[in-house]
Structures are given as structure tokens and as C-alpha cells.
Chain A
Amino acid sequence: MTLAAGLGYALIALGPAFSLFAGVVARKPFLVLTVLSSTLFWLISLIVLSGIWRGFLPIKSGAWWAYAILILTSVALQEGTRLVFWRLYKKMEEMLDAFADRISKPRLSLTDKMLISLAGGLGHGVAHAVFFCLSLLTPAFGRATFYIETCSKMPFFLASALIALGFLVIHTFSMIIAFNAYDERKKSDQVFVPVIHLAAAVMTLVNLAPGGCLIGTPLLLVMAALTLQHCWRVACQRLTEHRHQQHNSN
């Protein structure tokens, strides 16, 4: 439906990411590099996943359980990737601290670390949105629109853009929660992240049923909001703790 619609869908999926990028990430070149590398990571994990699943495609349209297994494996792999990313991040943090010492600048502060995890999450989210939503959006720039059979009330592009938005929020902010949890070794949060990811992914299975996208998409967005709220809580808590520590030490 013309340029305006296509741009609109793209902005629905990527608008918040873009504003996060422009407002927070673009100011520090290092964060931009972090976004790029985490996007690359996500892409590699996706390629590995598709390599594993290539033999079983295409999936018959009725077999929803195949999709369920697909989702299980995908989420498992991606959470594994997150752990690997965390390890790499720790190593890089050491290097950065050593470098900061060498040029006699202060070490990474808590805000810096959170910014890095935000950038990492943003990379994942942007990669997801780009590969799952944007690459299919080209026909939307044309003159017509498209509905899929199971979702006859919402244009396909709108549904996929909304889902991409939900997942972008989930990926971005659950990375902050995850890094925080790995840092502080909080089991509850460490479990929270994969659970939310899995729940959100399973929620998209609802889209397979006829008319399901009208239920699935809003629920997904609710979950995204939940992630956001949890992350807000975690971040505030951590920062106030940090401030207290600093006050006590001063």
C-alpha cells in the first residue's frame, strides 16, 4: 500500500529501536560497535539454527507441534547464545578496564555496563526485527496489501510489525535483566529471562490458529510491557543499591 504504508510498518517495528539508537547508542561509538557485533551474533545463531532445521523443512501447515519443537530449540539456542555473549562481554570488560587503567581514565561504571548490555540487547532485537519483519516488508511498498488465511482481520504486515516490536522490546530489555542477573548471580532473574522468551515465543504459536493473531499479538505486547517493567525495577534497584554503596564508602 504505497510508500507511506511501507514506511509506517517499518517504523512500527523499528521506531523505538531507532529512538533508542539515536538517543543513547549513537553518542558512544563503542556502543554502536556493540550493537553491530551482537546483531552478528544473533545472525550466526540463526544460521546455525536453520542449518539444523533445514532437513525438516518445509513444515506441513497442520503440524503445529513441529512449530512448537522449532520454537523450543530456537529459544534454547538463543539463550545459550546469550550466555556465550555474556562470557565474551566479561572478557571484554576486563580488557576495557585494563585499557582504562593504562590511559588513566576511570573504569567502567555501572551505568556504562548497563549501557553495554542495553546495546547488546538492542542488537538482538534489531536483528530479529530486521530478519523476521523487514525483509518481508518489500511488497508493502507496492500498491496492495496482504492477508494470510489464519489472520483475516489484520494485514499480515501489521501483525508481523507488531510482533517484531514486541520481540524487540523483549530482547532489548531482557538482555539488561540477564546481564544484571549473571552479574549478581540472582537465580530468579536468570530464570525469568528464558521463561519470558519462551512464553513470548509460544504465544506466537497462537497465531497458527484461525483468528489467533487477534489474541496472540496483544498478549505478546503485554508480555513486552511486563519485561519492560521488570527491567525498570531491576535497574532502579541496582542503581539505588549502587548509590547507597557509594554513599557509604564516601
Chain B
Amino acid sequence: MDPAAASPVPAPAVEEPVSATSVLDTLGAEVLAVMSPVSICMALVVLLISLLSPPSSGSAAGSPPPVTAATLVYLESPNDSPGQKLLGALLDAAVFVALVAAVTFVLVALYYYRCTGFLKNYMRFSAFFVIFSMGGAIVAAVLRRLAAPLDAPTALLLLFNGAAVGVLSVFASAVPILVRQGYMVALAVIVAAWLSRLPEWTTWIMLVALAVYDLVAVLAPRGPLRMLVELASSRDDELPALVYESRPTVGPATSSSSYASAMGSVEMQTMTDSGQIRGSRYDRVEQEEDASPAVVEMRDLGRGRSSDGEMNRSRGSVLQMENLEREVPVTSAELTANQGGSSQHAVIQIEQPDEEERSPLVSAASTNNAALDEEEHRQSSSSEPLDFEMFESTRGIKLGLGDFVFYSVLVGRAAMYDLMTVYACYLAIIAGLGCTLILLSICRNALPALPISIMLGVTFYFLTRLLMEPFVVGASTNLVMF
């Protein structure tokens, strides 16, 4: 009998409609839309690492670890005693976290004083630099490893083009979402692959320290990331961070529009003081009903929704908002996160490559969830009308790029030991991500995405390495399985 040929679950019976109305179809779509790019990023990093460096725990065969902010104090060498390594790694991690915190505070200050031009241009430069220089180094290493011939001018040209498109796709809104997502993942892969070259103890301690820092920075009252989130939401502006936007397309109106940014953005100008308006979408709906002078300005963009999106029709618009609430159910299992608007206005910041890791990535780590609860307020001074068909599809979740990077660093470091640890860490990280998302749907305010996953990942790595591997390898090499 051919196992593959006969699936014991026959095609759905005649009277049961296939999948159109089942709850299973749509549940978890947003969660999956975030988990897939994370998985792809991790897979690519593992692939890169196994391709470029032999998976040995010693770094003797590989290139010397980069001089980074994470190794300012102590550079690990294989000859040191464990105690020395531990101490050195702790010092390194402390310095690193302090640096990241300082930079985050600088970012908050810059944002507070509205130096958006500077931030924007700096981010553009950073994006270009990462893709061109760090990505170029990786491409060169891969080419060398595969012994593939490619001449220098062609390589430079291609890299330059790639980097230019990358810069455009990260900022401009008129870029297909797939391209933007692809470039986000590429950025994360490049940074993670570069970071994985750190020595082993330093990596682990740094990961744990960053997870703790993330927890503190987002949840503590005076934490820099929390201040950033509050600043951004009080100004009804985008968070100045690099975030990955996932956009599950549930309804028939998939976002074929080029105004990818406008998902979930409803421009509203109420007569009440806008500065005070916070809270979730639903709060605003209630506000709408009360505040009769409120004007809901919804700019429509065709696609047969002409009946809906008239401008400046408060009553009709309010009804529209109410319909929206019913269309997009909220449960503990489903997350309806706002998209938070256009990256055109987003002051997005990327890490500075020579400084190891910048706060924005870490801040981006938590701004994912901060963005989830953001109101749709946006002083859209852009000339681009907001897309309307977003109301048909549920809102996507945003995950900061720093999360991608650190998950991948963890998995990459696990890949340097063995594939079994890779799978275990991957599962742990995905489980942590799922837990975080569930918590998010319960808590509904900014949550750090790093702590749970990193802690689970580190735990599972050491458990697998110390406990499980001798057991499983011992059994399976004797072909005894269960």
C-alpha cells in the first residue's frame, strides 16, 4: 500500500461544504502571516551559516569575529577558561545593552524634537549601507564558497541596483507589499548572518541580556521604548522604526492597490482634541457615536465601494465604522491589529552596521505590538488618498525587524552546533512568538516580542544539547526508534 496515495480522510462529504464557512479557514491567518517570514528568515540564516562556515563550535576555521560593539570589552578566544569567558561575556553584554539603551534614548530625543528629516535620511543611508556593504560581503563569501564566477563590475552593478530598490521599497509606499516584505527579510538575514559571527558565549549572554532589556524597556514606566511608543501615539504618527508588515488577504479585495501603506488607516478629524484620543479602534468607534460634531473623513479609492466612501458624511461614516467592527471579529484567538499607516511618513530607522545593533531594531522589536494598538489617527499630509478596501481584509500584525534578527541569531548559533538544536530552537521560538501574540490579544498594548521566545529558545537549546542529543543519537544510530 502506498502511504502517499491514500489519504484516509476522504474528500468532504457531499452535504458538508468544503471550507467556505468553516471557522478553521480564517482563524490564525494573521498569526501565520507573521510566522512564515520569521521561519523563512531563520531558514535562510541557517542555510547561509551552514554554507559559509563549517558548523563547528570553534571559530578557528571561520573568519575572525568582527570587531563590534559587542566585543568592546572582551574578545573571546578558545583558550580561555570558562569562568573567564563567562565574565567577559557578561561584561560585553552589559556594555552592549548600555550602548543600545543610550542610542534608544538619543532616538527618543530626536523624535521628540521632531528631527524627522535627519532620521529619515539617516535611515535611508543605513538601509543602503546594509544591503550594499554587508550584503555584498555575504554575496562575495557565497560566491567564493560555491566557486561561481562573477566579475566585479557586474557584481557591483547588481548590488547597487539591489540596494537602491531596497531603499525605495522600505520607504516608498508605492511598492508591492511582497517586494517590501522580501527586502525586510533580506535585511534581517544580512544583519543576523553578520551577528552570528560573534563568539559563542558572548552571543548567548547577549541574547539573554537583550531579552531582559527589551522587557524592561517596553514595560517599565520610564523605559525608552515605552516613551517612544507613547510619543508616537500621542502624535498619531508612525513609529520611527523598521517593522515588518504582514498583510493577510482575507477578503476578495486583496490589496492590489499600490497604496499598500494605507491599510487600516482611516483618517478622522474630530472636533474634540485629537491629542487625547488614544486607545483601540473600538474606543474610537464609541467616541464617534457620542461626538456628533465628529467628522469622519474617509477617502475612497474606487473598486466598487462608491456607496461607502463618501467624504465628510459623518453619519454614514459612523455606520461604516460600526459595520467594520462586526466584520472583523475580535477574539482571544484572533488579532485585529491596525496597520498603522504609511511608511512614507514613517521615520524608519535602521541599525547602524558598525555599531552592531541599534536601538531601533530593539525598539522595533516591541513596536510591533505597540503598533497593534495604535489608533488609526494619522495626520495624513500626503496627497495619496487612503485606500478603502482594507475594511474587507483583516488587519495584519506588525513585527519589528529586531525580532527577526535576534531570533535568527539564536537559530544561527544553534545551527553551528547541530541540526537537532536548530529544530528545537526553531520550535521554541515559534512557540514563544505564538504565546506573545496570544498575550497581545489579551493585553492590547505594547508588548516586547523578544523575552519569551529568547528565553524558550535558550532553554531548549541547552536542554537539547545536554539532554536530548545523547539520547536520540544513541538510539537512532542503532536504528532503534519509537
A residues sitting closer than 8 Å to B (CB atoms) are 15-16, 19-20, 23-24, 27-33, 36-37, 39-40, 43, 46-47, 49-51, 53-54, 57-59, 61, 67, 70-71, 74-75, 78, 95-96, 99-100, 102-103, 105-112, 114-116, 118, 128, 130-136, 138, 148, 150-151, 156, 159-160, 163-165, 167, 169, 173, 176, 197, 200-201, 204-205, 207-208, 213, 216, 224-225, 228-229, 231-232, 234-236, 239, 242-243, 246
The 7 closest A-B pairs by CB, nearest first: A50-B471, A207-B479, A201-B482, A135-B420, A29-B32, A29-B28, A225-B1
User: Do B468 and A232 touch (CB < 8 A)?
Assistant: no
Known: A58-B474, A78-B482. A112 touches B22 (CB 8 A): yes
User: Do B31 and A100 touch (CB < 8 A)?
Assistant: no
12 A-B residue pairs with Cβ-Cβ distance under 8 Å, sorted by A, are: A16-B3, A29-B32, A70-B480, A100-B23, A108-B22, A118-B9, A128-B481, A131-B420, A156-B479, A204-B482, A228-B8, A243-B15
Q: How far is the CB of B25 from chain A (nearest CB, A)?
A: 5
Hey, which chain A residues are within 8 Å of B117, CB to CB? Answer: none
Q: How far is the CB of B442 from chain A (nearest CB, A)?
A: 14
Residues of chain B from 1 to 43 with CB closer than 8 A to chain A in the complex: 1, 3-4, 6-10, 12-16, 19, 21-29, 31-32, 35
B427 within 8 A of A: yes
Most chain-B CB neighbours within 10 Å: which of A67, A109, A197, A239? A109
Closest to A31 in B: B24
User: Do A43 and B474 touch (CB < 8 A)?
Assistant: no
User: Do A47 and B9 touch (CB < 8 A)?
Assistant: no
Choose among A71, A148, A160 the residue that contacts B482 (Cβ–Cβ < 8 A).
Answer: A71
Known: A96-B27, A112-B22. A135 touches B419 (CB 8 A): yes
Q: How far is the CB of B433 from chain A (nearest CB, A)?
A: 10
Choose among A32, A111, A204 the residue that contacts B480 (Cβ–Cβ < 8 A).
Answer: A204
User: Do B7 and A205 touch (CB < 8 A)?
Assistant: no
Hey, which chain B residues are within 8 Å of A74, CB to CB? Answer: 482
Given A28-B25, A29-B28, A43-B427, output 13 extra A-B contacts at Cβ < 8 Å.
A23-B7, A29-B26, A33-B434, A43-B423, A49-B471, A59-B474, A70-B475, A78-B482, A96-B27, A118-B9, A135-B472, A239-B13, A242-B13
Q: How far is the CB of B249 from chain A (nearest CB, A)?
A: 12
User: Do A163 and B13 touch (CB < 8 A)?
Assistant: no
A129 to B7, CA, bound (A): 19
User: Do A207 and B13 touch (CB < 8 A)?
Assistant: no
A47 to B377, CA, bound (A): 48
B307 within 8 A of A: no
B97 within 8 A of A: no
User: Do B13 and A103 touch (CB < 8 A)?
Assistant: no
Residues of chain B from 452 to 482 with CB closer than 8 A to chain A in the complex: 460, 463-464, 466-468, 470-482
User: Do A30 and B24 touch (CB < 8 A)?
Assistant: yes
User: Do B424 and A43 touch (CB < 8 A)?
Assistant: yes
Hey, which chain B residues are within 8 Å of A150, CB to CB? Answer: 478-479
User: Do A205 and B480 touch (CB < 8 A)?
Assistant: yes
A135 to B50, CA, bound (A): 13
B418 within 8 A of A: yes
Using an 8 Å CB-CB cutoff, how does the interface string of B306-350 with A read, 1 for contact, 0 for none?
000000000000000000000001011100000000000000000
Q: How far is the CB of B206 from chain A (nearest CB, A)?
A: 25
Q: How far is the CB of A132 from chain B (nearest CB, A)?
A: 5
Q: How far is the CB of A60 from chain B (nearest CB, A)?
A: 11
Known: A16-B4, A108-B24. A29 touches B31 (CB 8 A): yes
Q: How far is the CB of B407 from chain A (nearest CB, A)?
A: 15
B301 within 8 A of A: no
Hey, which chain A residues are within 8 Å of B29, CB to CB? Answer: 29
Interface magnitude class on chain B: 35 or more
Q: How far is the CB of B128 from chain A (nearest CB, A)?
A: 35
User: Do A165 and B479 touch (CB < 8 A)?
Assistant: no
Known: A46-B472, A111-B9, A132-B481. A37 touches B24 (CB 8 A): no
Hey, which chain A residues are within 8 Å of B6, CB to CB? Answer: 228, 232
B residues sitting closer than 8 Å to A (CB atoms) are 1, 3-4, 6-10, 12-16, 19, 21-29, 31-32, 35, 329, 331-333, 418-420, 423-424, 427-428, 430-431, 434, 460, 463-464, 466-468, 470-482
Q: How far is the CB of B31 from chain A (nearest CB, A)?
A: 7
A16 to B5, CA, bound (A): 9
A169 to B8, CA, bound (A): 11
Most chain-A CB neighbours within 10 Å: which of B8, B10, B26? B8
Q: How far is the CB of B359 from chain A (nearest CB, A)?
A: 31
A179 to B296, CA, bound (A): 51
User: Do A138 and B333 touch (CB < 8 A)?
Assistant: no
Most chain-A CB neighbours within 10 Å: which of B4, B7, B418, B420? B7
Closest to B23 in A: A100
User: Do B467 and A165 touch (CB < 8 A)?
Assistant: no
A173 to B8, CA, bound (A): 8
User: Do A204 and B479 touch (CB < 8 A)?
Assistant: yes
Choose among A16, A70, A100, A176 the residue that contacts B8 (Cβ–Cβ < 8 A).
Answer: A176
Known: A43-B424, A160-B476. A108 touches B23 (CB 8 A): yes
Hey, which chain A residues are within 8 Å of B477, CB to CB? Answer: 136, 148, 156
User: Do B481 and A163 touch (CB < 8 A)?
Assistant: yes
Choose among A50, A58, A95 the residue that contacts B472 (Cβ–Cβ < 8 A).
Answer: A50
A133 to B420, CA, bound (A): 10
A247 to B329, CA, bound (A): 33
A208 to B479, CA, bound (A): 7
User: Do B24 and A207 touch (CB < 8 A)?
Assistant: no
A172 to B189, CA, bound (A): 34
User: Do B32 and A95 touch (CB < 8 A)?
Assistant: no
User: Do A131 and B467 touch (CB < 8 A)?
Assistant: no
Hey, which chain B residues are within 8 Å of A105, CB to CB? Answer: 21-23
A59 to B475, CA, bound (A): 9
User: Do B9 and A115 touch (CB < 8 A)?
Assistant: yes
Choose among B12, B22, B423 the residue that contacts A131 (Cβ–Cβ < 8 A).
Answer: B423
User: Do B480 and A95 touch (CB < 8 A)?
Assistant: no
Q: How far is the CB of A219 from chain B (nearest CB, A)?
A: 13
Choose among A23, A116, A216 the residue that contacts B479 (Cβ–Cβ < 8 A).
Answer: A216
Q: How far is the CB of A104 from chain B (nearest CB, A)?
A: 10
Known: A78-B482, A228-B3. A235 touches B10 (CB 8 A): yes
